[in-house]
Structure 1
Amino acid sequence: MLRLADFLDSINLRLAMVIRWFALLMLLIQFGIVLGRYVFGINSIAVQESVLYLHASLFMLAAGYTLLVDKHVRVDIFYAAASPTTKRRIDIIGHLILLLPAMCALAWWSWPSVRNSWKILEGPMAVGGIEAVFLLKTLIPAFCLLVSIQSVAILLRLLAGKGVQ
C-alpha cells in the first residue's frame, strides 16, 4: 500500500518539478510585455494571453503537489488542538466524504464543456489571442485527476497508519 502511495506521490512531485518553471516564465513574459508596450510601443494579445495560460496551468496542475506537501488551505477550528488519532480520522473523513466526491463532481460537471471545446477546437478568447481555449479548459479535469491521485495517496498512508503525527 505504501509503495502505491509513493508512486502516486511521484506523479505530482515530478509534475511540480516542471510546473514550477512556469512562474519564472510568467515573470519574464510579463516583463517583456511591459517593456514592449511602454518602451517599444508594440503589443500582442497572444503574448498577454500566454501569461493567463501559464498562470492557470501553474495553479491547476500544481494543486496536487500543494496537497502532497500539506500547504493547502485547512479550516483549523478543531484540527489544531486534536490528538493524532482524531486528526487521522478527520483527514480520512475529509478525503472520503468531501475532497474525492468534490473532485468527481467537478470533473463530471465540467466534462461536457471540455468535450465540446475539444470537438470544435475552441479558439481564442479575444481576436488575435491563443487559439487553444480547449487546452485551457482541459486543465479542469487534469486538476481533478491530480488532486484525486494525491488524495488517494494520502488516504493509503492514513489507512496504513502512516499519516498524521
Structure 2
Amino acid sequence: MNPLLSFSRLVDWINDKVGKLTFALVFASVFISAGNAVVRKVFDYSSNAWLEIQWYLFAGVFLLGAGYTFLHNEHVRIDVISSRMSKRAQIWIDILGILFFLLPFCFMAVWLSLPVVTNAIASGEMSSNAGGLLRWPVYVLLPIGFSLLALQGLSEMIKRIAFLMGIASDPTLRKGEKTAEEELAEFMREKTARELAEAGKQA
C-alpha cells in the first residue's frame, strides 16, 4: 500500500501546483474582461480575439482546476442521505462513486476528445469569427483537464481505501482549511460583534 500512497501524494502535489496556476488564469481573465469593456466603451472598438481568449481562460480555470477542487474537497456535493450515514459508509460511497462514475466518465472524455484535438492540430483549425484564434489550444485542455481529474480520483480512492484499512487518516477532513460557508459565518460574527460594541459605546 505504501507505493500507492506515494503515488497518491505525487498526484496531490501535481494537482495542487496546477490548481494554483489557475489563480493566474482567473486574474488574467478578469483583467482582459475589464480591459475589453473599457476599450469598447471609450474607443468603440472590439476584438474577437480578445473576446475569445476570455473563453479560453475560463475553460482553463474550469478544466485545469477540477482536480485541485477535488483534492481540497470543494466540489459540489449533495449529502442529504449520506450525511446521515456512518463515516465508513460515506467513504464506501465515495469509493464506489469514483470507481463506477468518475473514472469511466473521465476515460470517455479523454478518449473522445483526443481525435478532436489531433484533427484540430493537424488542420490548424481557426475560429469561424473574424480575427478569431486557433482552436487547438483550448481543445487540448479537455484531455489534460480530465486526465488530471482522473488521477485525482485515483488518489482519493487510494486514500479512502487506506483509511478503511486503518493506515491513513480520514481524507475527507479539512486540514486547517475553512469552507466558504465557515469564512462567511466568521465574518458575520465579527461584524455583529463590532456593531454591538459600537452600539454599546454610543449608548
Q: Shorter-chain TM-score category?
A: over 0.9
- Residues 134, 151 of structure 1: CA spacing in aligned structure 2 closer, same or farther, 3 A cutoff? same
List runs of 5+ in structure 2 lacking aligned partners.
174-203
Distance 1:32 1:60 in 2: 24
Alignment deviations for residues 111-150 of structure 1 (CA, whole Å, 9 cap, x no partner) = 22222112112112411011x2011111111121010110
- For the residue of structure 2 that corresponds to 1:80, the secondary structure is helix
Partner of 1:151: 153
**Aligned partner of 1:44 among 36, 42, 47:** 47
Q: Does residue 137 in structure 1 map to residue 139 in structure 2?
A: yes
Partner of 1:5: 8
Structure 1 residue 164 displacement after superposition: 4.0
Structure 1 residue 17 displacement after superposition: 1.5
Equivalent pairs counted in the alignment come to 164
If you compute each CA radius of gyration, which structure gives the higher value, 1 or 2? Answer: 2
Q: Is the 8 A contact 1:103 1:144 kept in 2?
A: yes
Partner of 2:180: none
Q: CA RMSD in A?
A: 1.3
Structure 1 residue 16 displacement after superposition: 1.3
Q: Percent identity?
A: 29
Distance 1:164 1:124 in 2: 42
Q: Is the 8 A contact 2:12 2:71 kept in 1?
A: yes
Where relative contact order (Cα < 8 A, 6+ residues apart) is larger, the structure is 1
Alignment deviations for residues 35-75 of structure 1 (CA, whole Å, 9 cap, x no partner) = 11111222211111111111111111100101111111223
- Show the 5 A alignment for 1:58-69: 58-69=61-72
| Counterpart residue type for residue 57 of structure 1 | G
Partner of 1:16: 19
Partner of 2:111: 108
Partner of 1:55: 58
Distance 2:5 2:115 in 1: 35
List runs of 5+ in structure 1 lacking aligned partners.
none
Structure 1 residue 110 displacement after superposition: 2.1
Partner of 2:97: 94
